[in-house]
Every structure is written in C-alpha cells, then in structure tokens.
Amino acid sequence: MTTGTAPSDENSISIKVDLLIEAEWVIPIDPVGVTLTHHSIAIKDGKIVAIEPLHEARRKFTPDETIELPGHVVLPGLVNLHTHAAMSLFRGYADDLPLMQWLNDKVWPAEARLASTKFVLDGTLLAGAELLRGGVTCFNDMYFFPHATATAATQLGMRASIGLVVLDFPTNYATDTSDYLSKGLACRDEWNCESLITFNLAPHAPYTVGDKSFERVGMLADQLNLGIHIHLHETRMRSPTASSSMVSDRLSDSAAWGY
Ligand SMILES: [Zn+2]
C-alpha cells in the first residue's frame, strides 16, 4: 500500500472528498457479480460517495488523501456467521476429539477454571484482530459475558451480532435459565444505543437446553423481535438425518415454537 496525492486537473469539476482509494479491482455490493478494474472509491464523512473509473475519479475529485492499491482487490467486509470469539484463547487445546468428549472432558472444565469478563475481553480482542486481518468486519458470536464481547468489538470498530447465551446448567457467568436471560437482556439494554452492536438469543444446543427454556427463548424472541442463534446441525450425529430421536424431536419442536 502506498499513499500520495492524486494529480489535479484545472479543467475538471473538483469535488472535495476525504479519501480516494485507487484499487486494481473493486467488487461492489451493487451491481452484484461485477468486478471493476482500475476503479477508485471516493469517501466523504465516512461514507462511499462514488465508485468511478480511476482516471474519471482523479478528474472529478480532490481528496485529502489517496491510497493506491495496485495488485489489490477492495471488497465489502466479510461476515463470520458463527463464532465463539473468546475461545481463541483455547486454540490448540484438546483438538481432534468427538464433540461431547471435547465438551465434557476438556472445554467445560477449562471454562469453569478460566472464563471471566477479562478472559472474554482479551480473547475477543485477539479473535477480532485475526478476523479483521482476514477481511471479516462483522461476526455473529455466542459466548458468556456478552458485555465483554461488545466492548472488544467496539474497541476494534467491528460490527457484532452478540448471542445472549442460555444453558440449563450453571457456569461462571450465570446460575440458571432465568439468570442467563436477565443478565443477557440487561446487557442488551446497556448497549442499545451502540450502532455497531446488535443482539440475538442464543440457546446453546438441544443437548444443553431443555424444553421449558426453549419455550421461554421462543416467547422472548417474538416479544423483542430478536433472532435466535443455536447449534442445531452441529455434527453428523446431530443432523436431521441422524437416527437420534432426540434430535428429530427437537427439530419438530423448534418448528412448533416458531424458530
Ligand atoms: Zn459453535
């Protein structure tokens, strides 16, 4: 990446902008499915005001700053639809185990020892840095201590859809379903005015959340117009084609609850 000042053209109409990004390729949201070659993105007050062919943009705009990106593609930020961002701190711990053994014998005991507001803040900051490096600007998370997740996301300038987790057993974060929900909804109220942060309800999975909790979550989702984030088809054994009657029953139930 290099920076410089675009040449001005005395005969052109000059529109002042804050930034001109000159990229070899630009993939816009609109029109869909198009890759523009040698185009510039003009930005003013934090918003894209034009995407023009490079020479046209140089004629039309006077930027405070120009960023030249030869050999680069500029595209909208990517979205990671399922994260437990803070668990970046567990990377490499207990890999390659079947899901329930991994959870019961390794992850849940480790979380009981370590999960805290600081753990989630630090882990989410680390994960966020890695997400940004990969072009991800928005993530859909599910973990304990959502206030810490929201804090990390806003510090990084990232968008986050934060799942207010619900489990039927106690953790460092909450004691029971009511406690999970009340803490989660209090966090949602606290962050209501932050434009980068949205919330959804996150009943963890059919094997950790019982019928009564699912019903409460479904009702709250309706009342508060919130989405639901859940592990439903997590492994082959928990897919709809599995023979497990529990999974089949829960899928039928989830349809009945309006999920
Ligand atoms: Zn997951």
For the chain, the domain total comes to 2
Cα 205 to ligand 1 centre (Å): 9
Domain match, 66 and 82 both: no
252 and 153 belong to one structural domain: yes
- Measured in Å, residue 82 CA sits from the centre of ligand 1 at 6
Return the minimum-mean-pLDDT range out of 19-28, 97-106, 234-243. Answer: 234-243
H helix or E strand, kind and range, residue 137 = strand 136-143
Q: Are 119 and 89 in contact (CB under 8 A)?
A: yes
Ligand 1 geometric centre to CA of 77 (Å)? 22
Same domain? 123 vs 82? yes
pLDDT, averaged across the chain: 90
> Residue 69 has what pLDDT?
97
Q: How far is the CA of 142 from the centre of ligand 1 (A)?
A: 7
CA of 204 to the centre of ligand 1 (A): 8
**Residue-level pLDDT at 235:** 79
Identify the burial level of 55 via C-beta atoms within 10 angstroms of its C-beta, where 0-12 means exposed, 13-18 middle and 19 or more buried: exposed
CATH code, domain with 48: 2.30.40.10
Q: Which amino acid is at 105?
A: D
For residue 182, report the distance from its CA to the centre of ligand 1, in Å. Answer: 22
Q: How far is the CA of 106 from the centre of ligand 1 (A)?
A: 15
Q: How far is the CA of 24 from the centre of ligand 1 (A)?
A: 37
Q: Is the pLDDT of residue 193 over 60?
A: yes
121 and 211 in a single domain? The answer is yes
pLDDT at 12: 54
156 shares a domain with 212: yes
For the segment 82-122, what is each residue's pLDDT rounded down to a tens digit? 999 999 999 999 989 999 999 999 999 999 999 999 999 99
On whether both 112 and 218 belong to a single domain, the answer is: yes
- Last residue of a domain, which of 74, 95, 123? 74
Supply the DSSP string of 148-191, one letter for each residue. HHHHHHHHHT-EEEEEEEE-SS--SS-SSHHHHHHHHHHHHHHT
> Which of 39-53, 85-99, 181-195, 245-259 has the weakest average pLDDT?
245-259
* 51 neighbors 40 (Cβ within 8 angstroms): yes
229 C-alpha to ligand 1 centroid (Å): 10
> Of 45, 52, 55, whose CA–CA distance to 16 is shortest?
45
Q: What is the pLDDT of residue 233?
A: 80
Average pLDDT over residues 221-228: 96
pLDDT of residue 89: 97
Phi-psi category of residue 185: left, alpha or beta, with phi > 0 → left and psi -120 to 50 → alpha? alpha
